[in-house]
Structure 1
Amino acid sequence: MPTQLEPAVPRTGAGREKLLAAALDLFAERGVSGTSLQMIADALGVTKAAVYYHYKTKDDIVLAVVSPGMEELAVIAGDAERKRSRAAQVETVLVGIVDLIVRNRSLYAVLQGDLTVAHILSEHMAFPELGTRLMALLAGPDPDPGTIVAASMLLSGLREAGFGPRVASISDEELRGHMLDCARRLLRHRRPPAATA
């Protein structure tokens, strides 16, 4: 049975929502390690004590920022796991992840390549397990090395393709179409490599 992703801290209240929005903007601009609690407080026009009232550490803020996206990924994985055919499982994962990324470009700017975020998430059991579930859904049972490489490239590439100056001017609808097209082509059945003598 999949592990449930529990929010690290409550995510209700206008003050918390404003704080998380300001933190996300700063994380996307400066990275998590380049953002201090004082910077978040300054962006909100409040004291650092006001930030501490809602969250005791920056790690708590990071978890609160990324948890909704991770929770949605867990729902996508659960929906895919209930599909009977492998093709339906893969399509559910692809459409779900692409839609999530396109709707949350700033969040994925934070997740992509930020070693601080990767370290924080790695310490929470549900997050690594979620990555394992998604990889298993994309690669299938007993995958050959080529399929493992393709699924790994896909998961990394989708995050990269969803944000940044190269894609900033592309509309959400067009970006979604291109991402799905590329993802489907990458996972299309390939011939095994020829045996060498």
Structure 2
Amino acid sequence: MSSDTKARIQAVARELFVEQGVRNTSLRQISDRLGITKPALYYHFASRDDLVRSIVQPMIDDHDRFVTTRAPGDPRELLEDYFELIWRHRQVLVMVIRELATLGQLELAEHMFEWRRRLVVLLLGPDLTREQHIRATVALGGIADCAVEYADLPIEEVKPTAVQAAADALGL
């Protein structure tokens, strides 16, 4: 029951954070929407920062796992799998992008740059020209941007075009 309440709190908080930003969302708003007391919310999360961290951490863990367990292979397949990873966490990305201070608080920017460096090597190998680096930045950034910009559309509508555009940017 406790983990169910925790998951409900995270879901409502994520929704409110996406709608109105982290700073503009109070723990009172979250507890009111859930119909629980603020002390009940504090039982599960000591602060708003703890709650934000708990929402963002699964995305960090999934990205870390993705870049550390993948072996170089078919670049198109990697782009498709990366798109699906980003798509799964699109609400969190919207939340983070909407409030860039979250990047600093969670040291997320450093994670994101490291993920991108590893993905570039997986896609194109370790010895790249500056042009290849730039193309990879456009490809991977474009995939992430599509997941955020078109988050409300069905994945079937977004993924094929986003992956093809990324493949084109890479010259595949």
Normalising to structure 1: TM-score of the pair? 0.73
Higher mean alpha-carbon deviation, 169-178 vs 60-69, is at 169-178
SS at match of 2:148: coil
Q: Which runs of 5+ in 1 are unaligned?
A: 1-11, 190-197
In structure 2, relative to structure 1, the CA distance for the partners of 1:142 and 1:114 (3 Å cut) is farther
Give the aligned residue type for 1:158: I
Paired residue for 1:44? Answer: 34
CA distance 1:135–1:60, change in 2 (3 Å): farther
Distance across 1 between alignment mates of 2:135 and 2:115:
18
Post-superposition offset of 1:143: 2.0
Tell me how far 1:116 sits from its aligned partner. 2.1
Does the C-alpha gap of structure 1 residues 135 and 53 become closer, same or farther in structure 2, counting only changes over 3 Å?
farther
* Partner residue of 2:43 out of 35, 53, 65: 53
Which of 51, 73, 77 aligns to 2:67? It is 77
CA distance in 1, matches of 2:160, 2:91: 19
Aligned to 2:159: 176
| Amino acid in structure 2 at the alignment position of 1:57 | S
Residue deviations 1:19-46, cap 9 Å, x none? 1001110111112222222222222122
Instruction: Give the superposition deviation at 1:134.
Output: 3.0
Q: Which amino acid aligns with 1:46?
A: I
Inter-partner Cα distance in structure 2 for 1:139 and 1:35:
42
**Equivalent of 2:144 in 141, 159, 175:** 159
Give SS of 2:23's match. Answer: coil
Deviates more, 1:135-144 or 1:36-45: 135-144
Name the SS for the 1:143 alignment partner.
Answer: coil
TM-score, length-scaled by structure 2:
0.82
8 Å contact kept, 1:94–1:180: yes
- 2:10 alignment partner in structure 1: 20
CA contact (8 A) 2:116 2:140 kept: no
Q: Secondary structure at the residue paired with 1:33?
A: coil
Q: Counterpart of 1:162 in 2: which secondary structure?
A: helix
Per the alignment, do residues 42 and 70 of structure 1 end up closer, same or farther by CA in structure 2, a change over 3 Å counting? same
RMSD of the TM alignment (CA)? Answer: 2.6
Question: Which runs of no fewer than 5 residues in structure 2 stay unpaired?
Answer: none
Aligned residues: 171
Equivalent position SS for 1:163: helix
Q: Aligned with 1:155: secondary structure? A: helix
- Structure 2 Cα separation of the partners of residues 177 and 104 of structure 1: 18
Decide whether the 8 Å contact of 1:102 with 1:175 is kept in 2: no
